[in-house]
Structure 1
Amino acid sequence: MTPDPPQLPAPPEHRAYLPAVEPERQITDWGRSERVEGALDKTLYEFLYHYWFRVSVEGIEHVPAAGGALLVSNHAGALPPDAAMIAKAIKTEHPRPRPLHLTVEHFFKGYPGLSMLVQKLGGVPAHPANVHRLLDDEEQLVLVFPEGRKGTEKLYKDRYRLRRFGRGGFVESAMRARAPIVPVAVVGAEEAMPVFGQIRPLQKLTGLIYFPITPTFPWLGLLGGVAYLPAKFSIRFLEPIPTDQWGDAPWDDKGLVQTVAEEVRACIQEELYDMLANRKSVWLG
């Protein structure tokens, strides 16, 4: 067998085109990139948070400064910016900022470019084993949207009416990790990119999970805030619900799991109604 020829150094005139060494770059086991996340944070997120959505935050002290915790929020809009704004609120307002991991649907795997970006920004495939590892083993903050795609498909006429929170899988994950559940209520996302209808034929043609009719072209939201209407965002973090108060294996009681899930849903729904009742303007708050 002929040995491979030795790798010769690049000619001097080509060295300028070689990728630079980046000793400061950090990528976690989940594929999260501080470099990519930091670049997006300093540009797009900073603009959206402070100048476009003018986010106001209440109850940030309810987000634990250490240990695992599961944040549970409402979710809506054609291309919802709520996850990014919740993460930015923790980074900006919390006395001890912490990274936030977001569980995402397996739908993203079908779009290599988008799936790679979501992963670099802290997205983790929605699976109980992943949530448990983040909460229990790594003691991280995890954000889940139990409404799932039902929330993002919701029409404007049904705004701020929460869909069913699945089968309570998020409660079971929090119970197994003995991690508190922090309910989060978000107002503004449903007006930032409202959905007035769904085009089912185009949904099947494109393979997207939905193809909404919205005043702005939703995928431009990845490139700049101008794709969103400038609705004022209000984020309210509610008092944590401990999950270590129901014995040794409360997750085996499916009735209890479903009851707690419904209580979390009702808590967020009540806060949304209160926030809406006190909001004077969609655009000014």
Structure 2
Amino acid sequence: MDRGGGSTLDIAPEGAAAARDRNDPRTDDRRPAPASGRSSGQAPSAAIELREDLRRHLPGVEPERRLSDWGRSERIEGLVDRTLTDFLYHHWFRCEVDGVENVPAAGGALLVANHSGALPPDAAMIAKAIREEHPHPRPLNITVEHFFREYPGFSMLLPKLGCVAAHPANVQRLLYDEESLVLLFPEGRQATRKLFRDRYRLRRFGRGEFAASALRAGAPIVPVCVVGAEEAAPIFAHLGLLKRLTGLKYLPLTPTFPHLGPLGAAAYLPAKFRIRFLEPVRVDGGGDDRTAVQTVAEEVRARIQETLFQMVGERDSVWL
């Protein structure tokens, strides 16, 4: 299998980065010192000092390029996990988790979940649940839609947090070659466009490509149900005119966006999250058998939909 086909980022090797730094006059300490008293001579030194200061303090910068093949940074992921994710998981959403032991402790496995809300936090909460609650915590690779690359900052940050492009080749490599955990949302971007009135009603699961990937890799599928995200980031409408004027592909109307500015897109309401990992669906066969693929995809979708309705009916309050 061509391992190169699954890569989502082109990251320069350390040697190339070092060569660039050696050839960059801004980092060449061997230059003669500028004459004292010239204001222009202070600029390069100040610029170097500022850059080094930014390297130390900005979480988006990886000075030593300690990244995985997928662009993942343990340092940045750990920083976000200990701060923002930890606060959201324990204090804001107060997550309750059931069935986390259904996630395999070893080997490749595909987690398939419902998806919802504007900039939904469900993926981060699922990953946090495995880190916090599982007896054998494992890193989770989160698949994301390609359109996130068009948003400034996201294309740089998401890979460092364990996200990969939602492409069958990437999923296959992670499941089969690397025997990793992969989280996938078969509803795709249609789930993030779903209005509040349609909450917890699953969209189509596409052509079942997730099932085909699991069948080819011989990896179990773990259905995951998340209740609370629909209320934490509800979408009331889509701003078509503003979307055309800005050129952005996604501009929802939420309780906090756009009237609170860009930060309003990630301002979540304190809905209580309930996350349930269902028993794995064992797969057997080849991914080229379309009948088997559709059968598995429909079974997984039916189990998630049934459990979602059950969980919504069982809760006494959205907020408690």
TM-score exceeds 0.5: yes
Q: CA deviation at 1:217?
A: 2.5
Give the aligned partner of residue 252 of structure 1: 288
- How much identity, in percent, do the aligned residues show? 66
Instruction: Find the residue that maps to 1:76 and give its secondary structure.
Output: coil
User: 2: distance between equivalents of 1:253 and 1:96?
Assistant: 34
Say which SS state the counterpart of residue 111 (structure 2) adopts: strand
2:244 paired residue number:
204
Correspondence 1:206-245 to 2 at 5 A: 206-217=246-257, 219-220=262-263, 227-243=267-283, 245=284
Seen in structure 2, the aligned counterparts of structure 1 residues 137 and 8 have a Cα distance that, compared at 3 Å, is same
1:176-195 equivalent positions in 2, closer than 5 A? 176-195=216-235
* Superposition deviation, residue 108 in structure 1: 1.8
Q: Which residue of 1 aligns with 2:8?
A: none
- Partner residue, 1:280: 316
Aligned to 1:123: 163
Q: Output the CA distance in 1 between the equivalents of 2:218 and 2:292.
A: 15
Deviation of the 1:216 alpha carbon: 1.5
Kept after mapping to 2: 8 A contact 1:79/1:221: no
Deviations 1:100-142, CA, capped at 9 Å, x for gaps: 1111111122234211111111111111111111111111110
Picking from 73, 86, 94, the partner of 2:113 is 73
Per-residue CA distance 1:68-126 (angstroms, 9 max, x = gap): 10000000001100000000100111111111111111112223421111111111111
Quote how far apart the aligned CAs of 1:203 are: 2.0
Change (3 A) 1:16 1:58: same
Deviations 1:24-50 (A, max 9, x none): 873101001111111111110010000
Q: Which of 77, 82, 90 in structure 2 is aligned with 1:42?
A: 82
Are the aligned partners of 1:74 and 1:147 in contact in 2 as well (CA < 8 Å)?
A: yes
Q: Which residue of 2 aligns with 1:267?
A: 303
Using the alignment, how far apart are the partners of 1:278 and 1:261 within structure 2?
Answer: 26
- Cα distance in 1, alignment partners of residues 210 and 291 from structure 2: 14
Asked if structure 2 preserves the Cα contact closer than 8 Å seen for 1:193 and 1:216, the reply is no
Distance 1:120 1:158, change over 3 A: same
For 1:35, what is the secondary structure of its paired residue?
helix
Pairwise CA RMSD: 2.3
1:172 pairs with 2:208 = no
Deviations 1:223-264 (A, max 9, x none): 7xxx11000000000001111x33xxx322212211211110
> Structure 2: which amino acid aligns with 1:139?
E
Greater relative CO, 1 or 2 (CA 8 Å, sep 6+)? 1
Does 1:98 find its partner at 2:138? Answer: yes
SS at match of 1:203: helix
Q: Following the alignment from structure 2 to structure 1, what is the Cα–Cα distance between the partners of residues 71 and 136?
A: 23
Q: Distance in 1 between matches of 2:70 and 2:50?
A: 29
Q: Distance in 1 between matches of 2:68 and 2:314?
A: 41
> Deviation string for 1:140-184 (max 9, x for gaps)?
110000001110100111000000000000000111111110000
Normalised to the residue count of structure 1, the TM-score between the two structures is: 0.89
In structure 2, C-alpha distance between the alignment counterparts of 1:189 and 1:258, rounded to whole Å: 27
- Deviation, structure 1 residue 5: 11
**Contact 1:25/1:34, CA 8 A, preserved across alignment:** no
2: CA distance, partners of 1:16 / 1:257: 57
User: Residues 53-68 of structure 1: matches in 2 within 5 Å?
Assistant: 53-68=93-108
Distance 1:153 1:63 in 2: 29
Distance 2:127 2:151 in 1: 23
Residue 16 of structure 1: CA displacement? 5.7
Give the TM-score of the pair, scaled to structure 2: 0.79
Name structure 1 gaps, 5 residues minimum: none
Structure ID, larger Rg: 2
Q: 1:132 to 1:78 in 2, by over 3 A?
A: same
